Amino acid sequence: MEYNCLGWDGLGHAALRQAVAASGPYLLCAAAFFLLWEQLSYLRKKASLPGPHFVVPFLGSALPMIMNPTRFWERQAALARDSGLGVSANFLVGRFIVFVRSTELSHKVFANVRPDAFHLIGHPFGKKLFGEHNLIYMFDQQHKDLRRRIAPNFSTRALSTYIDIQQRVILAHLHDWLARSAPSPKPIALRLLCRDLNLETSQTVFAGPYLSAAAREQFNRDYNLFNVGLMAIPFDLPGFAFWRAKLAVSRLIRTLSGCVAQSKERMRAGDEPSCLVDFWMQETLREIAEAEADAAGVRPPPENGDAEIGGHLFDFLFAAQDASTSSLLWAVALLDAHPDVLARVRAEVAALWAPELGAPITAEQVQQMRYTQAVAREVVRYRPPATMVPHIAGQAFPLTEWYTVPKGAIVFPSAFESSFQGFTEPDRFDPDRFSEQRAEDRVHKQHFLAFGAGAHQCVGQRYAINHLVLFIALFTSLVDFERHRTDGCDEIAYVPTIVPKDDCTVYLSRRGAPSL
């Protein structure tokens, strides 16, 4: 019996080998047909756009992009520039992409975010990461209603509250940085330190007292998983970075939803707002009360639940976190490289604020720091944190008279490339371009796309500039610093926003008498 079983098993393997051998040519033909179809499909979509003539099956240029994103996007920009067309093409992980260098065409994309044209996606595979109900995926009246409800979160009163929080967090972290540098000065890399500073700032400004110490630690771990997943190949399978990032986002949103519920109860009790979610819940409860008092029922109450608002809070945190880290690092690097600018910043801040008196910088003083604000805006222009703003074509869209973006293509308007068009000597770091006399922020407004444009322009840009101004004022007043310069230290690295290649490694020491 045992012999017969083994015999049948051998016959089965032989039959399987025969079947595989017989089907081999067909499988090869099918594979060859698929590869040919993919190449022809890419070339048809590419049409006259500059870009590679052959793409690696499925992956396309994904590996070169992940291995050296700076070189990859510089190459796309060069193709768009040198061709004179302002756009170029490529292929990434099964998706046809269009890179837009032209400011005019970038505005055309931003101005046509609607169901039958372009959909803002934030990341090529953002819906899988952020969820379908993310603010950036909204259109028309739903999007307008949400932005209206968000507006009180960035009122003058709210921003003044945030300035106090931002300042406390910045000062605590500067104290820690100086302690790390003492007693014998040694160079320290600021990227992760700035990331931690901004994460604590965002947590405290947005969620205030509703995050416990343990919740913050888990929050930090999950946010790191999310960041790693952003830069990974989007394999949505257990064990892969993208999959772990999705789970981390779900946990982050659950945590923030709990903060929403707590805030709602506190605002219902009549307490004063102490963070962004408080301002939001105060306004939400006011709208609900007005809707209930409206006998005619004309005004519907807000429909956002705790989980949905928690998701929007995560959107704010993501938008603020990595972009702000990038700007803080470039501010340090550029001020070190331009001592004349640094001296003017220090003089302006010293004329308005004396740290030895122990009083914090007020919102009014931040507004009076005109030159420091110009420096902050020039940092953002010169090194826009989010260099591109990806959109997907919901339908075929005529971008120009001679080229139609095919349905499903991912389009990358480049804020970085626009920053170096139009402005006077755009390759020069020159904060005076934002002075009242030159007013290049108005004259060349169309080229300043660091905060986007159109209906989805960043709602928190005043908050972002305030944070950068505060950091510059405190850092330059309280810290002496010198860049630890190495070959290529100022080259751009993507992480995923842009940062100095050396993570902005500096020597730090306390400036003047102890005052932190």
In angstroms, the CA 77 to CA 74 distance is: 5
Among 158, 150, 152, which residue's Cα sits nearest to residue 304?
150
Residue 421: name the closest of 110, 86, 99 by CA: 86
3-state secondary structure of 483: strand
Task: Give the Cα separation of 191 and 508 in Å (integer).
Answer: 14
- Sign of the dihedral through C-alpha 483, 489, 490, 495: negative
Task: Answer yes or no: is 458 a known binding residue.
Answer: yes
φ, ψ (nearest 5 deg) of residue 438: -90, -35
Q: Which residue has the tokens 């959109």?
A: 391
Q: What separation, in Å, do the N-terminal and C-terminal C-alpha atoms of the chain show? A: 87
CA separation, residue 207 to residues 152, 266, 291, 391 (Å) = 16, 13, 26, 29
Pairing of strands 410-413, 95-100: parallel
Q: What share of the chain is helix, strand, coil (3-state, %, to 5)?
A: 60, 10, 30
Quote the strand ranges of 428-484, DSSP E.
479-483
Q: Which residue has the tokens 């999950």?
A: 222
> Read out DSSP for 377-427?
HHHHHHS-SS-B--EEESS-EE-SSS-EEPTT-EEEEBHHHHHTSSSSSTT
Q: Which residues are annotated as a binding site?
A: 458
Q: Which residues are annotated as a binding site for heme?
A: 458
